[in-house]
A = this chain, B = another copy of it.
């Protein structure tokens, strides 16, 4: 049980966390700050936060738990803004989709207080953003990846684990590097591909006509293309090294299929599709609860 949550970033992710914490009875008071005052005000009006803070630093003042729910590119500036009030007794977490860059900025800025920071990535989200879509169930049943480093305090890691567990999430630990490699493959690359495919179609003279014919397969495949541009700009840049490596692997996969098509090699083509189809058919999303 926490006394006061300092929430920095009152958008979809941060707002959902505050609502989930309140509903679970895990926190008494939420003090929130957003870059845009109108967002902070709306969060208070909606009951997502109890008190509006005029700065990130003042959101941390008096908190025993702090959540950074800002775009990953804003992590370093946020750590700088709050470091004078961060102590090792506080649990500080983030929700960023990349971990190496966030951990690096925490190392640079937090120094002796680095131990209180537990880097987190909840595998949850929506295509819509903003506090008006905040949802106390956003994290229930989802995986949350914790990527502690050698200087993370065991006590804080334990509290973070218990907290996410209490919110109904399934907690998993790995290194920041392993995290970024995995998510380059299963999240960042699919987004990149969906963006490129959407632009390719929409940029054609007949794009509108083509799109009017698209069906449920296209709907599901392209859903992630509607994601938030600023957030994904930051993710693609922050994890570009791993992502470019995964893109190259993907392009070999495309080249294999293209070659079989050009050669009219039905057997190879069937083998390639069969492999993909079997892999996808056997895949099941890991969930905490059915």
Contacts and interface: CB of A to CB of B under 8 A. Distances in A.
B186 A211 contact: yes
A183 B219 CA distance: 14
A254 B193 contact: yes
A222 interface: yes
Contacts of A219: 285
Interface in A219-278: 219-230, 232-233, 236-237, 240, 243-244, 246-247, 249-254, 256-258, 261-262, 264, 266, 269-270, 272-277
A36 interface: no
Interface residues of A, number: 89
A58 interface: no
Contacts of A277: 195, 198, 225-229
Contacts of A185: 200-201, 204, 210
A126 to B, nearest CB: 9
Chain A interface, >50% SS class: helix
B218 A187 contact: yes
A257 B246 CA distance: 14
A123 B214 CA distance: 8
A130 interface: no
A11 B281 CA distance: 19
Given A182-B213, A258-B244, A280-B226, A253 B199 contact: yes
Interface of A: 123-125, 127, 142-143, 145, 172, 181-183, 185-187, 189-204, 206, 209-230, 232-233, 236-237, 240, 243-244, 246-247, 249-254, 256-258, 261-262, 264, 266, 269-270, 272-277, 279-281, 283, 285-286
